[in-house]
Chain A
Amino acid sequence: EDKVVQSPLSLVVHEGDTVTLNCSYEVTNFRSLLWYKQEKKAPTFLFMLTSSGIEKKSGRLSSILDKKELFSILNITATQTGDSAIYLCAVSISNFGNEKLTFGTGTRLTIIP
Chain B
Amino acid sequence: NAGVTQTPKFQVLKTGQSMTLQCAQDMNHNSMYWYRQDPGMGLRLIYYSASEGTTDKGEVPNGYNVSRLNKREFSLRLESAAPSQTSVYFCASSVQTTGILFFGPGTRLTVL
Q: For B31, give its contact among A34, A98, A103, A104 (CB under 8 Å).
A: A98
Interface 0/1 of A1-21, CB less than 8 Å to B: 000100000000000000000
Decide yes or no: A99 and B98 within 8 Å by CB, A42-B90, A105-B41 being known contacts.
Answer: yes
> Is A31 a contact of B99 with CB atoms below 8 Å?
yes
- The answer for the CA separation of A48 and B45 in the assembled complex, in Å, is 19
Number of chain B interface residues as a range: 20 to 34
Report whether B103 and A92 are in contact in the complex, using a CB–CB cutoff of 8 Å: no
Q: How many residues of A contact B (CB 8 A)?
A: 23
Which chain A positions have C-beta within 8 A of B43?
43, 88, 90, 101, 103
Contact of A101 among B56, B99, B102, B105 (CB under 8 A): B99
Chain B positions within 8 Å of A103 at CB level: 35, 42-44
Contacts of B104 in A (CB 8 A): 42
With a CB–CB cut-off of 8 A, which chain B residues contact A101?
A: 43, 45, 99, 101
A102 to B35 CA separation, bound complex (whole angstroms): 11
Contact between A105 and B99 (Cβ–Cβ < 8 Å)? no
Contacts of B96 in A (CB 8 A): 98-99
**B-facing mask of A23-61, CB < 8 A → 1, else 0?**
000000001101000000111110010000000000000
* Contact partner, A42, options B48, B97, B98, B106, Cβ 8 Å: B106
B2 at interface, CB cutoff 8 A: no
In this complex, the member of B4, B56, B98, B104 whose beta carbon has the largest number of chain A beta carbons within 10 angstroms is B98
A residues sitting closer than 8 Å to B (CB atoms) are 4, 31-32, 34, 41-45, 48, 88, 90, 92, 97-106
A-B pairs, top 3 by smallest CB distance, nearest first, are A92-B99, A42-B103, A105-B42
